[in-house]
Amino acid sequence: MLEGQLTFFGGVGKSGGVQVLYGKGKQALLFDFGVEHSCLLFPTQVTLYEPVNATPGRELRQFLLGGMTAPLMELYDPEQMQGIDPAVVRRVWGGLQIPEYEQIRLYVGHMHTDHMALLPYAHPDLPVYMSHDSHSLYRGMVAGGHSLDTKAGITVCDDLGIIDFGEFTMQVIEMDHNATGVSGIIIDDGTYRIAYTGDWRRHGKHPDRIERFIELCRSKPIDVLITEGTRLTADPSTVAHQMTEEEVLSSCSELIGRAEGLVYLQMSPRDLERMADMISIATRHGRNILMEASLAAIWHTATREGLRILEGHPALEVPVQIVDATVTGGNAVPYDIITVDEVAKRKNEYLYFYKFPDLAHIIELETLGGLQGRSIFIQSDYSVKIDNASVAKFLKAYGIAGHSLSSGGHAHPEALTGLVERIAPKAVITLHSRYPESQTARGVKPYYPVKGETVSVSSILNRAASSVQG
30, 149: one domain: yes
Model confidence band, residue 42 (pLDDT cutoffs 50, 70, 90): low
Q: Looking at residues 132-142, what average pLDDT do you find? A: 97
What residues does 230 pair with on adjacent strands?
none
Model confidence band, residue 50 (pLDDT cutoffs 50, 70, 90): low
274, 325: one domain: yes
Judge whether residue 470 has pLDDT over 50. Answer: no
216, 341: one domain: no
231, 340: one domain: no
Predicted pLDDT at 200: 98
Is residue 455 included in any domain, yes or no?
Answer: yes
Number of domains in the chain: 2
Judge whether residue 404 has pLDDT over 70. Answer: yes
217, 309: one domain: no
Model confidence band, residue 440 (pLDDT cutoffs 50, 70, 90): confident
Predicted pLDDT at 81: 87
232, 119: one domain: yes
Is residue 73 included in any domain, yes or no?
Answer: yes
96, 146: one domain: yes
Q: What is the CATH number of the domain that holds 161?
A: 3.60.15.10
Q: What is the pLDDT of residues 118-128, one digit of tens each?
A: 999 999 999 99
56, 203: one domain: yes
Q: How far apart are CA 100 and CA 95, in angstroms?
A: 14
**CA-CA-CA-CA torsion sign (315, 293, 384, 285):** negative
**Half-sphere exposure (Cβ direction) of 197: Cα atoms closer than 13 Å:** 33
Predicted pLDDT at 1: 52
Is residue 259 included in any domain, yes or no?
Answer: yes
Q: What is the CATH number of the domain that holds 269?
A: 3.40.50.10710
Predicted pLDDT at 46: 46
Q: Looking at residues 148-162, what average pLDDT do you find? A: 97
Is residue 469 included in any domain, yes or no?
Answer: no
Model confidence band, residue 20 (pLDDT cutoffs 50, 70, 90): very high
Predicted pLDDT at 466: 53
Q: What is the pLDDT of residues 329-343, one digit of tens each?
A: 766 789 999 999 999
Average pLDDT taken over every residue of the chain: 93
Predicted pLDDT at 14: 86
Is residue 22 included in any domain, yes or no?
Answer: yes
11, 148: one domain: yes
The residue among 381, 404, 427 that closes a domain is 404
Q: Looking at residues 346-352, what average pLDDT do you find? A: 97
Judge whether residue 260 has pLDDT over 60. Answer: yes
Judge whether residue 52 has pLDDT over 70. Answer: no
Predicted pLDDT at 182: 98
pTM: 0.94
Predicted pLDDT at 310: 98
Residue 359 lies in domain: 245-404
Is residue 468 included in any domain, yes or no?
Answer: no
Model confidence band, residue 393 (pLDDT cutoffs 50, 70, 90): very high
Is residue 346 included in any domain, yes or no?
Answer: yes
The rounded percent of the chain whose pLDDT value lies above 70 is 95
The residue among 404, 420, 449 that closes a domain is 404
| Lowest mean per-residue pLDDT among 287-291, 368-372, 418-422 | 368-372
Model confidence band, residue 468 (pLDDT cutoffs 50, 70, 90): very low
- Smallest CA-to-CA distance from 252 within 228, 233, 227, 275 is with 275
Is residue 25 included in any domain, yes or no?
Answer: yes
SS3 category, 71: coil
Predicted pLDDT at 467: 44
What are the φ/ψ torsions at residue 95 (nearest 5 degrees)?
65, 25
391, 429: one domain: no
The residue among 404, 421, 437 that closes a domain is 404
Q: Looking at residues 298-305, what average pLDDT do you find? A: 97
What are the φ/ψ torsions at residue 21 (nearest 5 degrees)?
-105, 120
CB 167 within 8 A of CB 105: no
